[in-house]
Chain A
């Protein structure tokens, strides 16, 4: 050889390293999702002033999430 070409073993090693990195990033993201603030935040910034029906929807969800406990919070 001597041309500096990648061997099959080296290709496999690179692939496995890349897959590990992707998996680690995914795991990290999944973990971060658990701590990304409160789901109630999604109602903010739709308008400068929240219309009454949206306030109602927000209150309804808050009530449901309290009933569900932790289960309802995370995607």
Chain B
């Protein structure tokens, strides 16, 4: 197996799916000759040509509108929006059409497409380049919202997303893109969309997170073990919507304590939904109120203050210790 960054692993997923299925089309700003703003589509135009890898104008609404048209007529478009902060330009196409065509046509039409886009802070970018607004999409019925946390699960989930019969919004963390490498198998690997993974077992506390925040969450679990002798169970959601609550409920029934971590703003975030489901299904097993560690309810500050905004291991540990201390 080769050790890959998330960028390379995503490139492998696209390359192999394009090879297997000539309905798969890649389109977006600079995805062709330039290989994509983060080089995720590097080399695809040389292998598959400019009929399957399309450099589009700077027009997000057109990119997504075109993808919807392609999908309705049986192609499998994978479009790239350079930064998730630009995807509001195409919100109308996704919300009013991609998410609803199956429902509106009573199943006659469907939109099997993937919208890939980098999200989140941690790379000291400028305004509109660091937001974590996954909830816009997760809140929209008809869409699937996937957020991988590392090279291997990113590759496997992108393959599944391309094959999925429904529109999938696929958030890729810029902070994770080149942060570390993982073994990624050359042979095909998929992961089911809508299935969180237990990435660490423990009996004392459940830590629930996804995307870029998985790293500080896992570091916190290490520290809890080393400094506090606490066995934290860690769950990586991978898919925000449809959310499979079963693994979360089982875990919290076992540990009785939970912390949810995300970099998106706290209010009305994914944490609120997860806490609600745990309250509905695992309330009588809880030993302490569930804590949320999240971004603040403000626009993510510019580069120099990002660190103070993003959930850190210190903030996760503080919340974890508070939950553990409750009797």
Contacts and interface: CB of A to CB of B under 8 A. Distances in A.
Interface stretch (B23-31, B47-55, B69-77, B302-310): B302-310
B266 interface: yes
A68 B314 contact: yes
Contact of B303 (A33, A41, A73): A33
Most buried by A among B301, B308, B314: B308
B296 A65 contact: no
Interface string B242-277: 000000000000000000000000110000000000
Given A57-B266, A64-B314, A42 B305 contact: yes
Which size class do B's interface residues fall under? 10 to 19
B124 interface: yes
Contact of A54 (B296, B303, B314): B296
Contacts of B97: none
Nearest to B303: A75
A72 B308 contact: yes
A36 B297 contact: no
A41 B309 CA distance: 11
B312 interface: yes
Contacts of A58: 296
B297 A61 contact: no
Nearest to B297: A54
B318 interface: yes
A28 to B, nearest CB: 13
Interface string B300-327: 0101111111001011001000000000
Contacts of A57: 266, 296-297
Nearest to B265: A57
Interface string A43-68: 10010000101100110010011001
Interface residues of A, number: 20
Nearest to B121: A75
A74 interface: yes
A42 B315 contact: no
B298 interface: yes
B296 A43 contact: yes
Nearest to B307: A75
Contacts of A51: 297
A47 to B, nearest CB: 10
Interface in B122-151: 124
Nearest to B298: A46
B32 to A, nearest CB: 27
A39 B306 CA distance: 9
Interface in B184-237: none
Interface of A: 33, 36, 39, 41-43, 46, 51, 53-54, 57-58, 61, 64-65, 68, 72-75
Interface of B: 124, 266-267, 296-299, 301, 303-309, 312, 314-315, 318
27 contacts: A33-B303, A36-B305, A39-B301, A39-B305, A41-B305, A42-B298, A42-B308, A43-B296, A43-B298, A46-B297, A51-B297, A53-B267, A53-B297, A54-B297, A57-B266, A61-B308, A64-B315, A64-B318, A72-B308, A72-B312, A72-B314, A73-B307, A74-B304, A75-B304, A75-B305, A75-B306, A75-B307
